[in-house]
A = this chain, B = another copy of it.
Amino acid sequence: MEPLVDAGPDRPATLADVAAASGVAISTASRALSNPTRVRASTREKIEEVARELNYVVNAQARALTSGKTRTIAVMVSDVTNPFYFDIIRGTQQQLKAAGYTQLLVDTEESDELEDSMMHKLRRSFDGAILAASRLTDRKLAALASEIPVVAINRQTSGVPSVFIDTPSGIEQAMGHLVSLGHRDIVYVSGPVTSWSNEGRWRALLRAAKVHGVTARRVGPFSPKKVAGAAAADAVLNSGATACIAFNDLLAIGILMRLRERGVSVPGDLSIVGCDDIFGADFCNPPLTTLTAPIEQAGRVAVSILLARLDDPAISGTRQTATLPTHLTVRASTGPAPIRK
């Protein structure tokens, strides 16, 4: 038997331990485990067996140091609390695990500064990042993208690969739905001004309103949270519109709750359309008519694009923007426009 050099008391085994126990050089052990073709099959098997016995696990830190690859992807969300991101996170997690990557979740708290500083502080700790709803300015985002492989979700900026959930064209569908129900005065409940999606949705609504020849206005901005729904509901009511489209479901649900409190009937007095179809949109009261977005898929696709680009940086040249369609899911929060005197 070869001289078995044992690891110290309970210290996790290192590659050196494996090599010693297998009677080969460290370099050989390294290659056997990560670059199998460079080593004779019999040797490799022997090493693999020893590694298993010693319960050896590579030290990701040490590996990252030389290879420069951490096999970790950062997922930056502006608010872990927002159910919209749950599905994103689920999608990325799924796809990353399948590819053997680890997910680093970072909450940027709706702050562009925090987002920027986190990206820089951690830049050596991940190979690339998924920016879900980045609050960065176009300038900064582009600059970042040139330093670090990045894929943005719901954010189109030249030079930055992205996944775009096409809510704007869904908005046109939603307008059609509302108009066909007799609504002629529709208000958009605006989300945060720093949100890129917010602008796109408003513009789409404006365009659709023109096409249908109805009035469109906006109220807000509001924070995309349930609590902000109260203020939003009041604003909508004040506007006198018969229907509203909210920046997202969270806001829409908040509006719903407030209207119930104030005794306003939905959809009797007011119809409401949300965006995204998050967790909860189907069981709130009344269930929310909303633009269903393939959120989880967006997460998966973002990861695919990012990983493809990591494997082969040459891809960088090609256009890398995926557009995912949305569709209107009609539930019970929209109905015929009330008869006005």
Answer yes or no: A35 CB below 8 A from chain B CBs. Answer: no
Answer yes or no: A239 CB below 8 A from chain B CBs. Answer: no
Contact partner, A123, options B57, B125, B226, B257, Cβ 8 Å: B57
Given contacts A57-B121, A83-B86, contact A104 B107 (CB under 8 A): no
Answer yes or no: A322 CB below 8 A from chain B CBs. Answer: no
Chain B residues within 8 Å of A268, by CB = none
Answer yes or no: A319 CB below 8 A from chain B CBs. Answer: no
Chain B residues within 8 Å of A286, by CB = 285
The answer to whether B12 touches A57 (Cβ under 8 A) is: no
28 A-B Cβ contacts within 8 A?
A10-B147, A59-B124, A60-B124, A61-B61, A61-B64, A61-B124, A61-B125, A65-B65, A81-B90, A83-B86, A83-B279, A86-B86, A93-B105, A97-B107, A102-B104, A102-B122, A102-B125, A103-B104, A103-B105, A105-B105, A257-B282, A279-B279, A279-B280, A280-B283, A283-B285, A284-B284, A284-B285, A285-B285
Chain B residues within 8 Å of A279, by CB = 83, 279-280
Q: How many residues of A contact B (CB 8 A)?
A: 44
15 other A-B residue contacts (CB within 8 Å) besides A60-B125, A81-B87: A12-B124, A57-B123, A61-B70, A62-B65, A80-B90, A81-B86, A93-B105, A102-B104, A102-B125, A103-B104, A257-B283, A279-B280, A284-B284, A284-B285, A285-B285
Answer yes or no: A210 CB below 8 A from chain B CBs. Answer: no
Name the 8 nearest CB pairs between A and B, nearest first.
A285-B285, A105-B105, A61-B64, A280-B280, A61-B61, A59-B124, A283-B284, A60-B125
Chain B residues within 8 Å of A64, by CB = 61
In whole angstroms, how far apart are the Cα atoms of A224 and B119 in the complex? Answer: 36
Chain B residues within 8 Å of A29, by CB = none
Closest to A81 in B: B90
The answer to whether B93 touches A80 (Cβ under 8 A) is: yes
In whole angstroms, how far apart are the Cα atoms of A328 and B98 in the complex? Answer: 41
Chain B residues within 8 Å of A122, by CB = 60, 102
Answer yes or no: A256 CB below 8 A from chain B CBs. Answer: yes
The B-contacting residues of A in range 38-94, CB under 8 angstroms, are 55, 57, 59-62, 64-65, 70, 80-81, 83, 86-87, 89-90, 93
Shortest CB–CB separation between residue A4 and chain B, in angstroms? 22
Chain B residues within 8 Å of A280, by CB = 279-280, 283-284
Shortest CB–CB separation between residue A17 and chain B, in angstroms? 14
Chain B residues within 8 Å of A124, by CB = 12, 57, 59-61
In whole angstroms, how far apart are the Cα atoms of A97 and B280 in the complex? Answer: 29
Chain B residues within 8 Å of A285, by CB = 283-286
Shortest CB–CB separation between residue A79 and chain B, in angstroms? 9
